[in-house]
């Protein structure tokens, strides 16, 4: 029946991604193995710190790949649905990211706009303090939504080479709540735009290409969608739309 089909579809997706994961892990493993073999051959020699650095970087890469893969492969029923207040989610995420942004010389700001300004062109600012919390409520898994926000913020920060700013906007459009993450970083070219979100597509040396796949999967499971607008050399706006909880 339909359930069976869904299960088969899912299995197909997961095994495709698993094949990709195996492939992606092979490179860092080969590098680590090479250095360890070198060390084993000359046990009396001091290991150059550059080699240790590479090994550590590669181990961290495997760590990220497996962490992100775990999130992607988790069955949807593992989600814990409950009322989630997006305002407090954003505040938590800001707290978690503040220091990292400051270290990179990036200013991080947050605004809440009034209802139904889907374009956010002329946002009427509302002091976050006065915004009624239940106004921006969804039914979802708070931890997962935080994960999405952290992934988007991470991408925004990585897109900014030297200083810059990231602005998070919370608002509404019709019966959806919107969170937009805007950066003034590198932007995304058309070729890349067509591919991002595909597992393992990355333009970064140390990227996993799984971050956005995780975001798409989580937001889709929440009945929402992700929109990306980007201009090369100017920046990117990633918007997530989630059905409002009445």
CB of 132 to ligand ADP, least distance (A): 30
Of 44, 143, 35, 135, which is closest to residue 89 (Cα–Cα)? 143
Give the binding range for ligand ADP (CB under 6 A) out of 19-27, 78-86, 132-140, 186-194.
186-194
For ligand ADP, the closer of residues 80 and 195 by Cβ is 195
Q: How far is the CB of 97 from ligand ADP (least distance, A)?
A: 14
Nearest by Cα to 157 from 88, 56, 235, 57 = 235
CB of 7 to ligand ADP, least distance (A): 26
How many angstroms separate the CA atoms of 76 and 128, rounded?
A: 32
Please identify, using beta-carbon distances, which residue of 69 and 136 lies nearer to Mg ion.
Answer: 69
The reply on whether position 155 binds Mg ion by CB under 5 A is yes
Q: Is 111 exposed, middle or buried (0-12, 13-18, 19+ CB in 10 A)?
A: middle
Q: C-beta of 50: minimal distance to ligand ADP in Å?
A: 24
Q: What are the distances in angstroms from CA 5 to CA 8, 12, 15, 55?
A: 5, 10, 15, 43
Three-state DSSP state, 193: helix
Considering only residues 190-219, where is the footprint of ligand ADP by CB under 6 A? 192, 196, 201-204, 207-213
Taking CB under 5 A as the binding criterion, the range among 41-49, 150-158, 181-189, 222-230 that sits at the site for Mg ion is 150-158
Question: Using CA atoms, how far apart are residues 148 and 231, in angstroms rounded to an integer?
Answer: 22
Q: Quote the least distance from Cβ 211 to ligand ADP, whole Å.
A: 3
Q: Give yes or no for residue 188 binding ligand ADP (CB under 6 A).
A: yes
Tell how strand 164-173 and strand 106-113 pair up.
parallel
Site residues, ligand ADP (CB under 6 A): 151, 155-156, 159, 183, 185-188, 192, 196, 201-204, 207-213, 236
């Amino acid at each position: 029946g339909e359930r069976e089909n869904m299960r088969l579809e899912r299995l197909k997706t997961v095994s495709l991604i698993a094949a990709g994961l195996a492939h992606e892990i092979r490179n860092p493993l080969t590098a680590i193995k090479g250095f360890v073999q070198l060390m084993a051959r000359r046990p009396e020699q001091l290991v150059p710190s550059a080699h240790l650095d590479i090994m550590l970087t590669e181990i961290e890469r495997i760590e990220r790949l497996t962490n992100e893969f775990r999130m992607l492969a988790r069955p949807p029923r593992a989600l814990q649905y409950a009322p989630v207040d997006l305002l407090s989610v954003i505040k938590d995420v800001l707290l978690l990211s503040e220091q990292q942004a400051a270290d990179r010389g990036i200013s991080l700001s947050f605004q809440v706009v009034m209802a139904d300004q889907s374009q956010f062109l002329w946002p009427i600012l509302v002091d976050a303090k006065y915004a009624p919390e239940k106004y921006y409520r969804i039914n979802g898994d708070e931890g997962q939504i935080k994960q999405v926000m952290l992934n988007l913020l991470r991408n925004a920060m990585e897109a900014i080479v030297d200083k810059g700013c990231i602005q998070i906007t919370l608002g509404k459009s019709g019966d959806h709540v919107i969170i937009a993450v805007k950066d003034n970083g590198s932007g995304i070219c058309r070729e890349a735009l067509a591919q991002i979100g595909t597992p393992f597509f990355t333009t970064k040396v140390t990227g996993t290409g799984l971050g956005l796949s995780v975001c798409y999967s989580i937001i889709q499971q929440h009945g929402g969608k992700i929109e990306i607008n980007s201009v090369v050399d100017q920046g990117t706006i990633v918007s997530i739309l989630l059905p409002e909880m009445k």
